[in-house]
């Protein structure tokens, strides 16, 4: 058992508490990882606010990179000392999704079931004698974590962990939504709603795919300079207009965009993103995690005319196969990650980090 520091969330709408936790050794087909760097993602905050329902107490965090400390019996794909990225979408290689070329959401994921436990139905964390839940099979707001072997990818030993941790969620999710889920073609017109780390990664994906016009949409105009730096050609603040943003985008393009991406997780922007794409061949992709217990109502004529509405989890990448390749592409300078990193803080200042997220900084 390893004793270490972790940020524990005891209940919703409360700050994280830095605690000493006990991390059990890995069982069969499990890996214990020393976390070197972890990103703060809006999906973690959705658990804090109750928009994403998970059991408490819990150790959040799912976008990280670290070094294997020890492995359980039967682990063959990695050994102690290997650099790895934990995978919140595992890849078991055996379920219908893993076996299909069309999908990536392995049935062993804990996003849909939200049990907050390891695949065997138990936890590896205890704090003050209480069992602490895992978060979507990763739990990275801790100095050490345990994941299933199918939920970690071995990466290049030369990779800078404080940069490539973003490939564990934000970058891959956004970039893949454009190049993998939507399959944006050269010359396309795209609209991206929400310019956080994931939205900016969608912008990068659209640019890499050769889009001729990338319209960045956000109510925080401070995000526009960075969006332009990464490839946005136009920036739209819905607050500047009296009419709905979908009408603004349709007028700007003459017929609507080819591809739109909702990267916020709000039902109103999901329907606006659908409505702003071309009425016959437009494709709209939901990238932001939808809030719990909210339903969407929309005019079905939006779909009847031919639009496609899709979802994308982890950018459509098969995680264990794709993450090492994405890290290799980063090492070959095929894309940048540094631009997405605004602040670096110690684990003890995690609450300040979440404040920066909530204030759009």
Query: Counting beta carbons within 10 angstroms of the beta carbon of residue 101, is it exposed (0 to 12), middle (13 to 18) or buried (19 or more)?
Result: exposed
Contact 271, 296 (CB under 8 A): yes
User: 169, 190, 206, 276: which one is catalytic?
Assistant: 169
Query: Counting beta carbons within 10 angstroms of the beta carbon of residue 157, is it exposed (0 to 12), middle (13 to 18) or buried (19 or more)?
Result: exposed
Q: Is 92 a catalytic residue?
A: no
Angle between the 42-49 and 350-358 helix axes, to the nearest 10 degrees?
100
User: 62, 133, 134, 278: which one is catalytic?
Assistant: 62
Q: Is 172 a catalytic residue?
A: no
Q: Is 46 a catalytic residue?
A: yes
* Dihedral in degrees, nearest 10, Cα atoms 236, 239, 241, 245: 60
Going by their DSSP bridges, the two strands 2-8 and 64-71 should be labelled as: unpaired
Structure tokens at 146: 């345990």
Q: Is 343 a catalytic residue?
A: no
Q: Is 112 a catalytic residue?
A: no
Contact 253, 235 (CB under 8 A): no
Contact 85, 327 (CB under 8 A): yes
User: 41, 165, 206, 276: which one is catalytic?
Assistant: 41
User: 46, 133, 134, 148: which one is catalytic?
Assistant: 46
List the catalytic residues. 41, 43, 46, 62, 169
């Amino acid at each position: 058992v390893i004793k270490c520091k972790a940020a524990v969330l005891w209940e919703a709408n409360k700050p994280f508490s830095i605690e000493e936790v006990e991390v059990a050794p890995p069982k069969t087909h499990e890996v214990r990882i020393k976390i070197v760097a972890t990103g703060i993602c809006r999906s973690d905050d959705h658990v804090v606010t109750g928009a994403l329902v998970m059991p408490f107490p819990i150790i959040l965090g799912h976008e990280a990179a670290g070094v294997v400390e020890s492995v359980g019996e039967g682990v063959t794909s990695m050994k102690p000392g290997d650099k790895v990225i934990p995978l919140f979408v595992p890849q078991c290689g055996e379920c219908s999704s893993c076996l299909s070329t069309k999908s990536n959401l392995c049935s062993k994921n804990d996003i849909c079931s939200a049990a907050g436990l390891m695949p065997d139905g138990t936890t590896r964390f205890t704090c003050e004698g209480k069992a602490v839940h895992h978060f979507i099979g990763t739990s990275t707001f801790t100095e050490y974590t345990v994941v299933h072997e199918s939920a970690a990818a071995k990466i290049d030993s030369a990779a800078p962990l404080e940069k490539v941790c973003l490939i564990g969620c934000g970058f891959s999710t956004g970039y893949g939504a454009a190049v993998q889920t939507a399959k944006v073609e050269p010359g396309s017109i795209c609209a991206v709603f929400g310019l956080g780390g994931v939205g900016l990664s969608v912008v990068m994906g659209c640019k890499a795919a050769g889009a001729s016009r990338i319209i960045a949409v956000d109510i925080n105009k401070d995000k526009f300079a960075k969006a332009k730096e990464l490839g946005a050609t136009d920036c739209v603040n819905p607050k500047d207009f009296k009419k709905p943003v979908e009408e603004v985008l349709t007028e700007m393009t003459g017929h609507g965009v080819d591809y739109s991406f909702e990267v916020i997780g709000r039902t109103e922007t999901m329907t606006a993103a659908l409505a702003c794409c071309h009425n016959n061949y437009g494709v709209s992709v939901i990238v932001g995690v939808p809030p719990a217990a909210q339903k969407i109502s929309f005019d079905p004529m939006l779909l009847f005319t031919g639009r496609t509405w899709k979802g994308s989890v982890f950018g459509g990448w098969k995680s264990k196969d794709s993450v090492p390749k994405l890290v290799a592409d980063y090492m070959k300078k095929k894309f940048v990650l540094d631009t997405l990193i605004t602040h670096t803080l110690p684990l003890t200042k995690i609450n300040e980090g979440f404040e920066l997220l909530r204030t759009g900084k």
